[in-house]
Structure 1
Amino acid sequence: MNLYDAWDQALKTTEVLRPRIRGLSSSSSTKLPYVFLAESSINSGDSVVRRGEVEVGKPSIILPSNLPQITGFDFEDGEEINPDAVMNFLLVRGVQIPSLKYNNLTSSVDIFEGKLSEAIKAHLKKLQRTEDTETTLLTGGESLWQFALLIFIGLQASRSAQSDFKYLIDEWRRKGGLF
């Protein structure tokens, strides 16, 4: 699958079922734990469960001139799809991700013996039972998990942008750097 088709398919299939309640931290890096569920392409009727966390670097108004740095997303697996190609692809299409460091740490990839709908119910129930408000539950295409995570990060960043800007302006004022 080429980059355009992969992105288009990810936009159509990615769904954030249970988002993290808190936004991104304005003063430090934020760890975003997630559970990504997808139908297994190998075992029909089973689901793939990918657990991990994305660490998002501290926000900044003065951004570096280079593109965001993304690591741990395994884009190197495909010949056409690599981190630089992905960032260029997104920029050309007007998708802007703040210039930060995004580091994905996948902790496990497991098989849930059951349909995707059953996996969703089981994981929603577990998150509710443990009162886990930090972990995001999302679904998408099995081979498109990297794009699903980028979509999830973009949603988190857009939710936090206004409060981040206000925090940074208040910090500058407090330190005597603004008006």
Structure 2
Amino acid sequence: MIRFVKYALMFVFLILLQTTLIPLLSIQDIYPDLLLIGVVITGIRHGATPAILAGCVVGFVQDAAVTQLYGLSSLAKSVAGFVAGYFSREKLKYNFQVTLGVVAATALTNTVLYQAIYYFSSNISVGWIILRHIIPHFIYTVIIGMMVNAIWPGGLWGKS
């Protein structure tokens, strides 16, 4: 129960940061996804099922506040939670490179799934979507994830 409260408070804090600070850091409508970093933390520390549930709940909150396609963030973050949980700390020995790989795989999964569905019926070319939306969002989220890892060493994967 205490773990649930800690993670609920973490996600409330991340939601507050995502809605207040992150818009100030956006570069031409490109912004990092702090909620995804929270899903990665949950997945690495506790496995796929808690990360999928966290991604689903946080995605619904994000959908309710931001998007036009309800359920899209929830779906993308749930799948990303599975990817992060697949690389849980019981399966891998974590160091900087492994953490970078897990954050990158999770961010890429989330961004590709979200953008592919969001722009599915538009007349925008796939190349433009990749260059303008997928790659910048992916890179920005990975950079923020690595900054979190540098500022809070071991914070992403917890105590071994």
Tell me, yes or no, whether TM beats 0.5: no
TM superposition score normalised by structure 2:
0.31
Structure with the higher strand share, 1 or 2: 1
TM superposition score normalised by structure 1:
0.28
